[in-house]
């Protein structure tokens, strides 16, 4: 359980810069004006539900990208653990290491145990959160609302 409240729709998304499975750190603001971003917070690499949640996003990645979106997975694990996890699951989107818990804290999804909630945020090209959902830890969230949010954003432009 968190002792904070997750950010909600209509709020400016806090910027962050985190080490990633890419060869360089990723900043949320790098996508501003270019892409919508799906932030997928998850508790830990290699856990059973996370091993379902992230492949679910991978399965919809082409559709997300067609809607001008990108996916960033975020957990407190190291980028080295992320690389092995991504390789085992065949993930092609970046996994970011929130080892210092700064992003989870900023988004209001840091749990008392030092790991993040299972949460999805859609950040539009202007840096505004347009979808926010915190799931039960034991259940992979439905990706359809993410896709519907991206469809709506694309209809508005």
- CA-CA distance, 131 to 77, in Å (whole number)? 25
In a domain, 1, yes or no: no
Q: How many domains does the chain have?
A: 1
In a domain, 75, yes or no: yes
What is the span of the domain harbouring residue 59? 36-156
In a domain, 6, yes or no: no
In a domain, 120, yes or no: yes
* 132, 120 Cβ separation under 8 angstroms: yes
User: Tokens for 91?
Assistant: 């993930």
pLDDT of residue 4: 67
42-51, 55-64, 111-120, 141-150 — which is least confidently predicted? 42-51
44-58, 74-88, 99-113 — which is least confidently predicted? 44-58
| Per-residue pLDDT band at 157 (split at 50, 70, 90) | low
Residue 88: how many other CB atoms lie within 10 Å: 11
In a domain, 83, yes or no: yes
pLDDT of residue 53: 86
Burial degree of 72 (CB within 10 A; 0-12, 13-18, 19+):
buried
In a domain, 57, yes or no: yes
Q: Which member of 20, 28, 50, 104 is catalytic?
A: 50
**Residues 113-148: tens digit of each pLDDT:** 888 999 999 999 999 999 999 988 788 888 999 999
Place of tokens 């519907």: 148
For 81, half-sphere exposure in the C-beta direction (CA atoms, 13 angstrom radius) is: 15
**DSSP-H helix ranges across 60-115:** 61-66, 79-89, 102-106
Residue 2 has pLDDT above 90, yes or no: no
**Residues 15-37: tens digit of each pLDDT:** 999 999 988 999 999 999 999 99
Residue 55 annotated among the catalytic residues of the structure: no
In a domain, 20, yes or no: no
List of residues 6+ apart from 30 with CB closer than 8 A: none
CATH, residue 143:
3.40.30.10
User: Tokens for 126?
Assistant: 């202007």
pTM of the model: 0.93
Residue 17: how many other CB atoms lie within 10 Å: 15
In a domain, 103, yes or no: yes
């Amino acid at each position: 359980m968190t002792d904070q409240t997750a950010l909600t729709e209509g709020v400016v998304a806090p910027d962050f810069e985190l080490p990633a499975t890419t060869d360089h750190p990723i900043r949320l603001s790098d996508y501003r004006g270019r892409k919508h971003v799906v932030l997928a917070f998850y508790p830990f690499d290699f856990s059973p539900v996370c091993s379902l949640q992230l492949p679910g996003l991978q399965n919809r990645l082409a559709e997300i990208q067609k809607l001008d979106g990108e996916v960033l997975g975020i957990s407190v694990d190291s980028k080295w653990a992320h690389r092995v996890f991504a390789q085992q699951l065949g993930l092609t989107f970046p996994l970011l290491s929130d080892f210092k818990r700064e992003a989870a804290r900023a988004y209001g999804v840091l749990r008392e145990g030092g790991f993040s909630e299972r949460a999805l945020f859609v950040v539009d090209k202007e840096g505004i959160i347009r979808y926010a959902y915190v799931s039960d830890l034991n259940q992979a969230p439905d990706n359809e609302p993410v896709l519907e949010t991206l469809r709506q954003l694309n209809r508005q432009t």
